[in-house]
């Protein structure tokens, strides 16, 4: 009975401590996407300049699919020049950069595109269907879709030039 009494406190506390340690080890902001490694959900995007683009017509092309908003400061502002630079550097090597503007006003979105002189296709997601289909829970989020149409990697937060370069090279 005495041994049992001595053991009862450590037995009760150990699982709680283990659970806390596990909780501290994980990043509460990082939610792993079940889409990574699987086929990218199909989409058809009408861009602000009147064109349309979709996954089906881009088969065989590596895609950088970036979800952004003009109110997303500073992360979207920081990554916009890097995205434009990557587009210019890789557009002739079978890479497509696509911007999806979510939960935004059209005028603000167009002003953002103009401000950073973005030349890659950008379009709105007015009903949020595309962002929900991709499991987006904030901006900016970027999906790297390989030539086979599978999601190679998902990045949450602002992209850097090095990160973009590294992930695009992995897909080529």
Q: Which long-range contacts (CB under 8 A, 24 or more apart) does 45-50 make?
A: 45/98, 45/100, 45/121, 45/123, 45/125, 45/130, 46/123, 46/124, 47/121, 47/122, 47/123, 48/101, 48/106, 48/109, 48/110, 48/113, 48/122, 48/123, 48/124, 49/121
For 32, phi then psi, to 5°, come to: -65, 135
Out of 131, 143, 144, 145, the only residue in the binding site for another protein (CB under 8 A) is: 131
**Cβ at position 30, least distance to another protein in Å:** 10
Asked if 134 touches another protein (CB under 8 A), the answer is yes
- Site residues for another protein, window 21-40 (CB under 8 A)? 31-35
**Cβ at position 134, least distance to another protein in Å:** 7
Asked if 135 touches another protein (CB under 8 A), the answer is yes
- Site residues for another protein, window 56-95 (CB under 8 A)? none
Out of 39, 91, 108, 137, the only residue in the binding site for another protein (CB under 8 A) is: 137
From 51-59, 83-91, 115-123, 133-141, give the range in contact with another protein by CB under 8 A: 133-141
The smaller minimum CB distance to another protein, of residues 118 and 151, is found at 151
How far is 146 from 109, CA to CA, in rounded Å? 27
Contact (CB, 8 A) for 82 and 160: yes
**Cβ at position 163, least distance to another protein in Å:** 23
Q: Which has the closest alpha carbon to 47: 124, 117, 119?
A: 124
**Cβ at position 135, least distance to another protein in Å:** 4
The smaller minimum CB distance to another protein, of residues 49 and 71, is found at 71
Which positions touch another protein (CB under 8 A)? 31-35, 41, 103, 127-129, 131-138
């Amino acid at each position: 009975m005495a041994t049992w009494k001595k053991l009862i406190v450590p037995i009760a506390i150990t699982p709680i401590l283990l659970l806390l340690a596990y909780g501290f080890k994980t990043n509460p902001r990082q939610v792993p996407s079940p889409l990574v490694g699987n086929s990218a959900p199909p989409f058809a995007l009408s861009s602000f300049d009147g064109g349309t683009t979709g996954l089906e017509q881009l088969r065989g092309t590596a895609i950088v699919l970036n979800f952004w908003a003009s109110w997303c400061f500073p992360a979207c502002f920081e990554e916009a020049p890097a995205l434009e630079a990557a587009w210019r550097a890789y557009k002739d090597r079978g890479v497509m950069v696509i911007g999806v503007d979510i939960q935004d006003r059209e005028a603000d979105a167009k002003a953002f595109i103009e401000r950073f002189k973005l030349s890659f296709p950008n379009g709105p997601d007015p009903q949020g269907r595309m962002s929900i289909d991709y499991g987006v829970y904030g901006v900016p989020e970027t999906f790297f879709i390989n030539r086979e149409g599978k999601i190679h990697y998902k990045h949450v937060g602002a992209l850097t030039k090095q990160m973009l370069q590294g992930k695009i090279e992995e897909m080529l």
